Amino acid sequence: MTHSISSGVAASYKIGVDGGGTKTECILIDDSGEIIARHLAPGCNPSVVGPDQARLIVTDALCGVVQAAFGNQPAPIAATHIYAAGSRAFWRETAATLADFGHIVTADDSHPVLELATRGEPGLVLHGGTGSFVAARGRDRLVHYAGGIGWRFGDPGSGYDLGRRAIARALLELQGWSPPSRLGPTVRDHTGLGETADVAAITRFFYTHPDANRPIAALAPAILRLANEGDFTAHALVAESAGELLALALRVAAKLFPDTALDTVPAGLSGPLLTHPVVVQLLTMQSPLPLAPVEGTPIEGVRRLLLRS
């Protein structure tokens, strides 16, 4: 159903995009902040899908949300905000090629969850999904970004990092060099190779997979389940992975808020891994920051940023 435009009434609309490695979500809002239309598309991280495909996904999403709202009518778009994973330079260059979407702003995909965590005030957020990062807004209101260097290089506190650690430990268990736990069978079952699969077969499965980061990250829910059920080894892996991201966040906080008691700095936990009860308990027990799970989805953070622009 399209949204009609009243003749003679000055109205402007804004588009917001939250683009990650898994999905690209697009909304169109009116002056009051009401969401008039939505569009969902595949992930648009150029590091994962390639630059040409990333540009096509976002362009199609923008056209799709406008079509959903206005059909073939002219669309009075005042501004478009693109918050996306990947190279900042790439998204700036992409924005320069877009027409009929108003004033275009591009920024990291960390901004929406930081908005949810701090509501525009100084503070920081730790995010752990397929990847991970720490985002912070200083007293000077500038936004800073730490980590998020990509799945190939670790991203502690992410689904990929947790999966990677679990596979490494499971392989040593299956070789007989580490005490057996439930990780070995869990990783072997995850490959679908059967109960007789040996270390060589499991290793080959991950090394030859055309999109290896996805099945590795997809292990994270199973590891969190084991940790929640009391498996000591899984619990230790979760603590190590999330703890490294917390250590990064504490370095960021100490640098940006040197004269402030850290227990007074707003700090949020975002993403399916860091908001899991096991992880929340682990981090809040050892952090001087007042960590609290972020409420709302990233696209709600996008909507709030559009309203404040």
Q: Which amino acid is at 217?
A: A
Q: Is the per-residue pLDDT at 139 higher than 80?
A: yes
CB-based contacts of 180: which residues, under 8 Å, 6+ apart? 173
Query: How much is the pLDDT for 12?
Result: 84
Contacts of the segment 69-72: beta carbons below 8 A, 24+ positions apart: 69/2, 69/3, 69/13, 69/28, 69/36, 69/37, 70/2, 70/3, 70/5, 71/2
Query: How much is the pLDDT for 3?
Result: 59
Tokens 């809002």 — which residue?
29
Distance CA 11, CA 178 (A): 65
Decide if 244 contacts 164 (C-beta within 8 A). Answer: no
Q: Is the per-residue pLDDT at 129 higher than 90?
A: no
pLDDT tens for each residue of 59-69: 999 999 999 99
Residue 6's pLDDT band (cuts 50, 70, 90): very low
Residue 7's pLDDT band (cuts 50, 70, 90): very low
pLDDT tens for each residue of 238-267: 999 999 999 999 999 999 999 999 999 999
Tokens 């679908």 — which residue?
192
In this structure, the dihedral spanned by the alpha carbons of residues 163, 165, 168 and 174, taken in order and rounded to 10 degrees, is: -80
Q: What is the pTM of this model?
A: 0.86
| Burial profile 48-76: b = 16 or more Cβ within 10 angstroms, e = fewer | bbeeeebbebbebbbebbbebbbeeeebe
pLDDT tens for each residue of 184-236: 999 999 999 999 999 999 999 999 999 888 899 999 999 999 999 999 999 99
In terms of DSSP bridges, do strands 103-108 and 123-128 run parallel, antiparallel, or are they unpaired?
A: unpaired
**Which parts of 138-281 are beta strand (E)?**
143-147, 267-270
pLDDT tens for each residue of 13-32: 999 999 987 899 999 999 99
Distance CA 25, CA 27 (A): 7
| Number of neighbouring beta carbons within 10 Å of residue 47 | 17
Residue 115's pLDDT band (cuts 50, 70, 90): very high
Ordered alpha helix ranges (H), 71-212: 88-96, 110-118, 159-175, 183-191, 199-208
Query: How much is the pLDDT for 74?
Result: 82
| Number of neighbouring beta carbons within 10 Å of residue 185 | 14
Q: Tell me the average pLDDT across 286-305.
A: 94
Residue 8's pLDDT band (cuts 50, 70, 90): very low
Domains of the chain listed by start with CATH number: 13-108 (3.30.420.40), 122-294 (3.30.420.40)
